[in-house]
Amino acid sequence: MSMRRIIALLVIIAAVTTVVWVFSHNETRDSSERIAVGSIAPEFEATTIEGKKVRLSDFQGQIVVLNFWASWCTSCVREMPLLNDIHKSTSSQIETLFINVGESKGTVSEYLKDHSFSFPVVIDVTGKISTAYGVSALPATFIINGEGKIKEAILGEITDFPLMQQWLEDARNPN
């Protein structure tokens, strides 16, 4: 079997495994457990693909954007350039963390390299972070204000740059 076919097979297996995982976790969650706008964002600790330990509390007092994604997710892939532009234009005022759901470090690193994205990525292999945030489908984006409260929970693809900018501006308002 050629190396290309082996890689393709591994990508398919990873995608199927992730889909099964997402749906199995979704079935075990009650809708009342889902994270709500206005609630305190769940704390987590993870390691970026560069090996840096991060905790949500590291960003206390700052606006944080969390984006849950996977490279096999068509909507995630389509919104990545927009989110990368937002990350580059706001990185001095807003922390952005991309949380990959269930893929290997190699797959994620290759994807980022192939697309020249520069944002920080954490891999949620065990599903602890996505479960804490009630993520049942991808993409999912959460905007957290400086007080640690969720200001926006966007389920699905973000396509509107001005709307995203408005959400980020609204997150500056503590009310």
pLDDT in tens, the chain (175 residues): 787 877 766 667 666 565 555 544 444 334 345 688 999 999 999 999 999 999 999 999 999 999 999 999 999 999 999 998 888 888 778 899 999 999 999 999 999 989 888 789 999 989 999 999 999 999 999 999 999 999 999 999 999 888 988 898 888 876 6
Q: How is the chain split into domains, by residue range?
A: 3-171
The strand ranges marked E within the chain are: 45-47, 53-55, 63-69, 94-101, 121-124, 140-144, 150-155
Instruction: Please report the pLDDT score of residue 25 as a whole number.
Output: 46
Sign of CA dihedral 30, 35, 37, 39: positive
Instruction: Please report the pLDDT score of residue 57 as a whole number.
Output: 95
CATH class of 3-171: alpha beta
Instruction: Please report the pLDDT score of residue 46 as a whole number.
Output: 94
Contact 2, 91 (CB under 8 A): no
Burial (Cβ within 10 Å: 0-12, 13-18, ≥19) of residue 101: buried
Instruction: Please report the pLDDT score of residue 117 as a whole number.
Output: 83
* Residues near 169 by beta carbon (within 8 Å), at least 6 away in sequence: none
Task: From 173, 46, 166, 23, select the one nearest 105 (Cα to Cα).
Answer: 46
Instruction: Please report the pLDDT score of residue 119 as a whole number.
Output: 84
> Length of the chain in residues, anyone?
175
